Amino acid sequence: MPYAEIPGLAASTASGHRGEFLIGHLAARPVIAMAGRLHVYEGHSLREVTRPVALMAGLGINELVVSCAAGGLNPNFNVGDLVLLNEHSSWLDGKLGAPPISFQRTNDSANESAAAAGCFRRSLSTCDPQLDAIAHQTAHTNGFELRRGMYLAVNGPNYETRAECRMMRRLGADLVGMSTVPELLCAASAGVRTLGISVVTNLALPDAPATADHADVLEVCERAAERLQQIVRAIATHGA
Ligand code: HPA
The domain segmentation of the chain, as residue ranges, is 63-238
Cβ–ligand 1 distance for 201 under 6 Å, the answer: yes
Determine if ligand 1 sits within 6 Å of the CB of residue 138. Answer: no
- Greatest Cα-to-Cα distance within the chain, rounded to the nearest angstrom: 49
Q: What is the pLDDT of residue 83?
A: 98
The answer to whether the complex's ipTM is over 0.95 is yes
Q: Is the CB of 178 under 6 A from ligand 1?
A: yes
The CB of 176 under 6 Å from ligand 1? The reply is yes
Asked if 80 and 144 touch (Cβ cutoff 8 Å), the reply is no
Residue 101 has what pLDDT?
A: 46
Q: Which atom of ligand 1 lies closest to the CA of 160?
A: 1
- Given this model, what pLDDT does residue 11 score? 76
Q: In this predicted model, what pLDDT tens digit does every residue of 97-135 receive, in sequence order?
A: 555 544 545 545 555 555 555 556 667 889 999 999 999
pLDDT at 102: 47
> Of 25, 59, 39, whose CA–CA distance to 180 is shortest?
39
Residue ranges, the chain, pLDDT below 50? 101-102, 104, 107
pLDDT of res. 97: 57
Give the homologous superfamily in CATH for domain 63-238: Nucleoside phosphorylase domain (3.40.50.1580)
Ligand 1: which of 78, 168, 201, 218 to mutate, most ligand atoms within 8 Å of CB? Answer: 201
What is d(CA 127, CA 200) in angstroms, rounded to the nearest whole number? Answer: 18
Angle at 160 between CA 157 and CA 164, to 5 degrees: 135
Provide the pLDDT for residue 150.
98
Q: How far is the CA of 108 from the centre of ligand 1 (A)?
A: 33
* CA 154 to centroid of ligand 1, rounded, Å: 9
Three-class HEC string of 13-60: CCCCCCCEEEEEEECCEEEEEEECCCCHHHCCCHHHHHHHHHHHHHHC
